[in-house]
Amino acid sequence: MRLSELSVGQQVAAGTLRVDRARLVRYADASGDQNPIHQDEAAALAVGLPGVIAHGMWTMGAAVGVVVDWVGDPGLVVDYRTRFTRPVPVPADETVEVNVVATVGALDRQAGTARIDLEVTLDGARVLGRSQALVRL
Partner 1 sequence: MAVDPSFVGRAYPPDEPYEVTRAEIAAFAEAVGATHPAHTDPQAARALGHPDVVAPPTWAVVVAQRSEAKHVQDPAAGVDFTRVVHADEGFAYTRPIHAGDRLVTTLHVDTVVERAGLGMVTTRVEVADEHGAPVATVTSTLAVRP
Binding site for partner 1 (CB under 8 A): 17-18, 23, 26-27, 29-33, 35, 47, 56-58, 60-62, 64-65, 68-69, 72-75, 77-84, 133
User: 124: burial class by Cβ within 10 Å (0-12, 13-18, 19+)?
Assistant: exposed
CB 19 within 8 A of CB 98: yes
Minimum CB–partner distance for residue 60 and partner 1 (Å): 6
Minimum CB–partner distance for residue 66 and partner 1 (Å): 10
Taking the least distance from each CB to partner 1, the nearer of 60 and 104 is: 60
Q: How far is CA 84 from the centre of its chain?
A: 10
Minimum CB–partner distance for residue 17 and partner 1 (Å): 6
Distance of alpha carbon 119 from alpha carbon 136, whole angstroms:
20
User: 81: burial class by Cβ within 10 Å (0-12, 13-18, 19+)?
Assistant: exposed
Taking the least distance from each CB to partner 1, the nearer of 74 and 91 is: 74
Taking the least distance from each CB to partner 1, the nearer of 33 and 103 is: 33
